[in-house]
Structure 1
Amino acid sequence: MSVPRNHPRCGVCANKLVKNGQTSAGRTRWRCKHCGASTSQSLTDISRKAEFTSFISWLTSTRARGEFATSTRTFTRGTQWCWNVIPTGEVHDQIMLDGTYFNGWCVLIAHTGKHVIDWQWCDQEKNASWTALIQRIPAPVAAIVDGNGPLTATIKRLWPGTRIQRCHFHIRQAANKHLTRRPNLPANKELLTIYKMLTDVSTLGQAAAWTGEFAGWEAKWEAFLKHRTRAQSGAPRPSYVRPGQDWWYTHLRTRRAWKLLVGLIRDDQLFTWLELGEDKIVIAKTTNALEGGPNKAIKDFLRHHRGLPVDHARRGVDWLLYRQTEAARDPSELVTPAAWAKKPQHRLARPDSGRGETTSLYGTSFSIEDGNGIQKGWGGRSR
């Protein structure tokens, strides 16, 4: 592992500093050519930068902590302050949006298809959480979304001039959900075929032909879609039927698959990528770059670093996303002396053993990070 270069940045304007002689103590003096500020680095600065570089290398890899220090405990103790450093994101124009869940948390991500723009922590995808993310980003030309209701509503409210492209992969998933992969009814079989044909559309002419095929299906099965079932005494009622409801549509799943396409065509969210292509604006028709990029990386990170406390897991995801931004700075440049201050560790108290020599030697509390806690599984017992 290479040692970080002793090349600091200005604490006032963040520009790189240049050497400017030495202090009376013999230390190298650094000066900012942009604002004129002068400073010098101590051994602590260099040591902290090396510690933080090792921390980021471990956090964003699958290597064990013991490979970065003489022991796992030495590495954990020396890099404890690194969790206090918070990364920041960059801003771009055209974006795709999605959220991924883990351990009761959700992280909303804005992505360009190549780089992460920004992200927002929340408990679930809702208007308030999407608003917190979207209001920080300038309105793009187009937004590629998976069909989340609060997300679409927030985009229309905060970015009224932004075109929406619904992800074709999620459209196909919705078709399988409503119609199943092997439908039995002839109407469902034909509608699933139309969904599958959507994958082959690559020009506006083909899009018009596909829309015509769907309109033909609607005309053919118009009466079928209106079939109703009347409530009868003693007969079972579907779970979605309200109490006191006299009738309901017989083929509800077919209607849901049908209405999904009707809404996408009405709102002009199906072929936005082709229409903008006529204006030489290239956008994606799926959120695959986001699903297979940051979302997958987050799942892999949590799998490789099992057992992290919740705040550490979130901070690790922050760094993972920050490293995928387009103009990410060297993480060590974000380190400030305030992060070095060690916060008091909250330890779980245990009852006094009653023996003074034991209490004075081992104390009356323990730390999960020391490997002490509730243990499960085989522990070396012979029977």
Structure 2
Amino acid sequence: MRTRSKRAKRCPSCGGRMEKYGHDRKGAQRWHCPECSVNGVFHDPKGRKAMRRELDSFVARLLGGHTLAEEGRSFRRDREWCWRVDPVIPVPGTKSHVLETDGTYVNGRCLLVPMDGTTGLVVRIRWCAHESIAEYRALFRGVPAPDVLVSDGMRGMERAAAAEWPGTRLQRCLVHVHRDTGRDLTHQPKTQAAKELKKLSSRLFKVHTAEEAARWGEGLNAWYERWKDMVNERTTAKDDPAHAAGRKWWWTHERLRRCYKRLEKLFRDGSLFAYTDPALLAGGEVPRDTNGLEGGINSPIKRMLDDHRGMPRKHMMRACEWKCYTRSPHPDTGAPLDAYLKTRHDREARRREKTRLAESATGDEPFADRISVQLPDPGEPTMNAYESGFGIRHGWAGTST
């Protein structure tokens, strides 16, 4: 007979109210869910509310700037199961106006994080060995295409975005552009052309409108007209055989040319000043760098890992996942806990089914009834099993020295 429990017990599959459903052979209480028809024995002595409180305290101490070692050995032992809870961020159903995406490396693994540039919330995460087109395509797949994608210039990211989101505009991070310029021209260039180009690159941060962007492009074009002979100058192997290295010719001022070509390509593609486009500004403000992602997600992750130095890689990755999950649109620890309970229930159900199949293969009869006694054929000589030397032996009887 089914009776209702005085204390509501929730189903690990659907979260519905469960009813008592008799007992198993060992006397354990069985439960049944009328909504999803799940029934079985659920070994949950703490209860969902107690586990929720333990999980909340675990996450608060993990992300609160205090080390878990300060809580004592008993706290770490009681919360050991919390490391197995996987905080999965659900795929958003609505598109974002701007997404800032970057990868940060943690103990040899790369964490790809796309963040909403307007709200500062994490949309999705993905672990990988290194940044590549395939990994970024897997990250973007299923996410609604944003209007603008702000990136640091990773080619794999841009190619993956072009494949998954054909209509999305790209905005190159101006901080990374200026950093690349400094790497090519050094911080104290020697030639007059390099000094002027570096000064022009520094003016990127003073562009706020479409008119100022057009004037900046005119300045870049004027610089090229003035120094194009120097940019296109070549050196042949005959002029400098010591640096030929199997080449017939090469650009004399290769770094200067590479810096100009980068700025010219970004300006021509519209990914240098996409944040000044009136059509994009109609949907909201567009950031011109990835500082929101670097300071909002990547830096807190590194500070958290610094607070918990010495954790194994598996725990470090789980801590990063919880950090990103708390910055997601719906950071509720109840959803990961329900998924963990359901997975544990499914694992126990598979174990019980495996045990049942093993018992059905051997039979449920007593052991004495399952003994197969083979009688001798008539006419063959028989042997008394209880003659001397064939009985049950105890101790050291029958052993050789």
Shared fold per TM-score greater than 0.5:
yes
SS in 2 for 1:106: strand
Residue deviations 1:132-154 (CA, integer Å, cap 9, x gap)? 10113111111011100111111
Residue of structure 1 equivalent to 2:89: 89
1:318 CA displacement: 0.6
Residues 206-215 or 93-102, more deviating: 93-102
Q: Check 1:188–1:9 CA distance in 2 against 1; reply closer, same or farther (3 A cut).
A: farther
1:110 alignment partner, one of 106, 109, 114 = 114
Distance 1:170 1:7 in 2: 56
Residue of structure 1 equivalent to 2:292: 289
Distance 1:334 1:273 in 2: 41
2:276 alignment partner, one of 262, 270, 274 = 274
Distance 1:200 1:186 in 2: 22
The number of residues matched between the two structures is 321
Letter in structure 2 aligned against 1:56: V
SS in 1 for 2:242: coil
Distance 1:154 1:38 in 2: 42
Residue of structure 1 equivalent to 2:205: 199
Residue of structure 1 equivalent to 2:247: 245
Q: Check 1:22–1:247 CA distance in 2 against 1; reply closer, same or farther (3 A cut).
A: closer
Distance 1:303 1:66 in 2: 14
Residue of structure 2 equivalent to 1:60: 63
Percent same amino acid among aligned pairs? 31
SS in 2 for 1:184: coil
Residue of structure 2 equivalent to 1:257: 259
Distance 1:82 1:274 in 2: 46
Is 1:217 the counterpart of 2:223 in the alignment? yes
1:103 CA displacement: 1.6
Letter in structure 1 aligned against 2:275: W
Residue of structure 2 equivalent to 1:29: none
Residue of structure 2 equivalent to 1:133: 139
Distance 2:135 2:9 in 1: 37
Distance 2:55 2:79 in 1: 7
1:61 CA displacement: 1.9
Larger Rg: 2
SS in 1 for 2:124: strand
Q: Check 1:36–1:311 CA distance in 2 against 1; reply closer, same or farther (3 A cut).
A: closer
Residue of structure 2 equivalent to 1:378: none
Residue of structure 1 equivalent to 2:330: 327
Letter in structure 1 aligned against 2:74: T
Q: Check 1:194–1:203 CA distance in 2 against 1; reply closer, same or farther (3 A cut).
A: same
Letter in structure 2 aligned against 1:198: L
Give runs of aligned pairs for residues 332-371 of structure 1, distance below 5 A: 334-335=337-338, 336-337=340-341, 338=343
Residue of structure 1 equivalent to 2:30: none
Distance 1:339 1:180 in 2: 57
SS in 1 for 2:208: coil
Letter in structure 1 aligned against 2:55: F
Distance 2:47 2:330 in 1: 27
Residue of structure 2 equivalent to 1:380: none
Distance 2:337 2:230 in 1: 63
SS in 1 for 2:123: strand
Distance 1:197 1:8 in 2: 64
1:233 CA displacement: 8.6
Letter in structure 2 aligned against 1:86: D
Letter in structure 2 aligned against 1:82: C
Give runs of aligned pairs for residues 170-189 of structure 1, distance below 5 A: 170-189=176-195
SS in 2 for 1:221: helix
Contact 2:189–2:195 (Cα < 8 Å) also in 1: yes
Distance 2:9 2:234 in 1: 74
Distance 2:85 2:155 in 1: 34
Contact 2:55–2:333 (Cα < 8 Å) also in 1: no
Residue of structure 1 equivalent to 2:49: 46
Q: Check 1:7–1:143 CA distance in 2 against 1; reply closer, same or farther (3 A cut).
A: farther
Unaligned runs of 5+ in 1: 1-5, 25-31, 343-383
Distance 1:7 1:59 in 2: 30
Contact 2:85–2:336 (Cα < 8 Å) also in 1: no
1:191 CA displacement: 0.4
Q: Check 1:130–1:280 CA distance in 2 against 1; reply closer, same or farther (3 A cut).
A: closer
Residue deviations 1:301-336 (CA, integer Å, cap 9, x gap)? 111111111111111101110001122113576243
Letter in structure 1 aligned against 2:248: D
1:157 CA displacement: 1.1
1:204 CA displacement: 0.7
Distance 1:295 1:254 in 2: 32
Residue deviations 1:267-293 (CA, integer Å, cap 9, x gap)? 211111111445343221111100111
Q: Check 1:104–1:65 CA distance in 2 against 1; reply closer, same or farther (3 A cut).
A: closer
Residue of structure 1 equivalent to 2:196: 190
Distance 1:174 1:185 in 2: 18
Residue of structure 1 equivalent to 2:360: none
